[in-house]
Amino acid sequence: MARDLLLTRNIGIAAHIDAGKTTTTERILFYTGVNHKLGETHEGSSTMDWMEQEAERGITITSAATTCDWIFPKENGEPTEDAQSYHFNIIDTPGHVDFTVEVNRSLRVLDGLVFLFSAVDGVEPQSETNWRLADNYKVPRIGFVNKMDRQGANFLEVNKQVKEMLGSNAVPIVLPIGDEGDFRGVVDLVRNRAVVWHDENFGATYDVVPIPEDMKEEVREYRALLIEEVASYDENLLEKFMEDEDSITEQEVHAALRAAVMDMAIIPMVCGSSFKNKGVQFLLDAVCRYLPSPMDRESVIGVNPDTDKEERRRPDVKEPFAALAFKIATDPFVGRLAFFRVYSGRLDAGSYILNNRSGKKERISRIYQMHSNKQNALDYIEAGDIGAAVGFKDIKTGDTMSDEKHPIVLESMDFPDPVIGIAVEPKTKADVDKMGMALSKLAEEDPTFTVRTDEASGQTIISGMGELHLDIIVDRMRREFKVEVNQGAPQVEYKEAITRAAQHREVYKKQSGGRGKFADIQFTLEPADEGKTGLDFISAIKGGNIPKEFIPSIEKGFKQAMVNGPLAGYEVDAMKVTLTDGSYHDVDSDQLSFELAARIGFRNAAKAAKAVIMEPIMKIEVITPEENMGDIVGDLNRRRGQMSDMGDRAGAKTVKATVPLSEMFGYVTTLRTLSSGRATSTMEFSHYAETPSNISEEVIAAAKGVES
């Protein structure tokens, strides 16, 4: 059936770990009639956390997609005369920093976002990371302050933090009635009425009650603030506001608020308690009212690979088909699934598409609408929808799928590099082949997980975003692929960098009877321009000193040399090479000679170009009781930590710092000891920085197998 795109919402749910994302999604599925039983994360019975590891640990590891329908508007749980059925595609994303990739790729394809905050903890570190990602992809959002039933809950304080710490225009559109154990409803500031939910039917119905006497003054103040914010966005309302603010109608406020949300000028803030079944239906209504449909987002821009010209695709079934694959997953029953968002056109099951990265045709044998880890088969999928495809040979995360006759490449996704690695080896000979297959499948699913072989030791090194990330990978190998492995101690993924310009001439000669080898190149090696990654190669050869056909081989040689840096064999992330001169021999010169000259030349020039070891620096935030603060700050200083901020939150002290990853192994255990188990910490990757010389020497010595 063809869907009305104006009634479709592609939304994500994002937040810091433990703010209640999965519980909120479970309530949405319950209220929309998809589930007839409430799933609970703490019982391991939630629909969206379907992996065994998720149920055991009570955390979300992989973003799960689901679909449901919500009738809006309703009055006391019953549809009104003008009610319509809204179709939701929802992606529940993980909150743990090690799985930020899941949030990143989900935001790339979503139209709107419900951003959760804990009413007790407010804006936490991972909230900031995910908020920046949402800003980066320009995703309009609604703030939902969850856990209003908990001790210490403070809706307006969280609202203030969202404004100040995230630099956004957060405006409350509700006020809570009661707090902590007494939280029972909200005052809707737009409609100027109070709503109290019933406990007996899981909050499916509610009563509209008079605004409590003791809240009338506060309601008047915050309603005036809301109207003022909306009026200052919409010029037509501003005139009305100046004359008589009471003349502004409810519908006008809704319309202006919707426009402001889509323009990211206002973030409407609502509150509730998902666990206690309060406020989720109000949130669903707000999603229908204020978040964009696929029709509201402008046409998507891509590049035609044949002409290199920009092209647009509108969210219309009549346009040529264009979609972006944002996730690859392996399912035990249907095989490899490619999750994709359709931006334009229509795709029928069994038809062919063009993969613009490989330039090859792919047959999509089946299309599914996903509900967590279950699939409902579809005959076709149209613009604005999210689905999963089966039957392809080679589709990767970030690939653009398009109509064969109308190729287009949509903007792909950037993922952070892994910062931590461990060596793994199969426990038995029988596991050798199985391990290789398991690792390649897992690496295909997760762009932040890489596998390489250490040239010096011959070991297989797997790298990821953190210890938990690698822990889950090894666990998945054991459970899903039945591969048992031994693992080494975690290692930091260092990098190498060039810090100054150096000129060098490399002459490569080899005589071995018969035809010899000869190449002569002169080049400048220097740091890459800011913001550039990879090799920036410029050929300034004049007058054919080196024939044109050898230039690509020289570039290839430098590219290969970057994989193993000159100091300790770690990757060089970015550099610039300008080829200035050289010479060749009519008989002895060939492509391989020039490639080898570039590789040897890079190693020889790196010393003069002052190559250095770079180490990953992590951002850490510790929340601790005041009496343990001195010990914790002292410990972070010993770990080469640099304090960036100290503050207060919910009756405790917060310490923010940047610390090298190499100093942070086993930190959680130390923190528990220092604080008698009362302090908590969160850590995420910040940037790479030059390693101090004494530590550089240790790293180089360890890489060369020399005891330092």
**94 appears as a binding residue in the annotation:** yes
Does the annotation flag 49 for ligand binding? no
Residue 464, marked binder: no
Q: Is 658 annotated as a binding residue?
A: no
Determine whether the annotation assigns residue 302 to a binding site.
no
- Please state the three-class secondary structure of 571-583 as a single string: CECEEEEEEEEEE
Which residue spans within 307-372 are E strands per DSSP? 310-313, 322-331, 335-344, 346-348, 352-355, 360-363, 366-371
* Nearest Cα residue to 19 out of 144, 108, 128: 144
- State both tokens at 634: 């002292």
Q: What is the DSSP letter of 549?
A: G
Consult the annotation and say whether 17 binds a ligand. Answer: yes
Ligand-binding site membership of 21 (annotated): yes
Tokens representing 637? 């200083």
The reply to whether 533 sits in an annotated binding site is no
Tokens of 264: 């990211």
Q: What are phi and psi of 676, to 5 degrees?
A: 55, 35
What type of residue sits at position 614? M
HEC-encoded secondary structure of 624-651: ECHHHHHHHHHHHHHCCCEEEEEEEECC
Q: What residues contact 331, with CB distance under 8 A and at least 6 apart?
A: 337, 373, 375
201 is in an annotated binding site: no
Instruction: Establish whether 345 is an annotated binding residue.
Output: no
Give the bridge partners for 424, in sequence order: 460, 487
Residues 6 or more apart whose CB falls under 8 angstroms from that of 74 comprise 80, 83, 281, 285
530: three-class secondary structure by DSSP: coil
The H-or-E segment that residue 30 falls in is: helix 21-31
CA distance 213 to 102: 46
Sheet holding 409-410, edge to edge: 310-313, 300-303, 409-410
With vertex at residue 105, the alpha carbon angle to CA 64 and CA 559, rounded to the nearest 5 degrees, is 135
Ramachandran assignment for 206, one of left (phi > 0), alpha (psi -120 to 50 degrees), beta (any other): beta
Tell me, rounded to whole angstroms, the distance of Cα 93 from its chain centroid.
9
96 annotated among ligand-binding-site residues: yes
147 is in an annotated binding site: yes
User: 93 among the known binding-site residues?
Assistant: yes
Report the SS3 class of residue 479. helix
**Residue 351 CB coordination number (10 Å):** 15
Q: What whole-number distance in Å separates Cα of residue 267 and Cα of residue 167?
A: 11
Whether the CB-CB separation of 678 and 628 falls below 8 Å is answered with: yes
* Distance between CA atoms of residues 329 and 707, nearest Å: 43
Half-sphere exposure of 365 (CA within 13 A, CB side): 8
Q: Say which residues have a Cβ less than 8 Å from residue 134's Cβ, sequence separation at least 6.
A: 14, 107, 113, 115, 141
Sign of the Cα pseudo-torsion (33, 38, 41, 44, in order)? negative
Annotated binding site for GTP: 15-22, 92-96, 146-149
Annotated binding site: 15-22, 92-96, 146-149
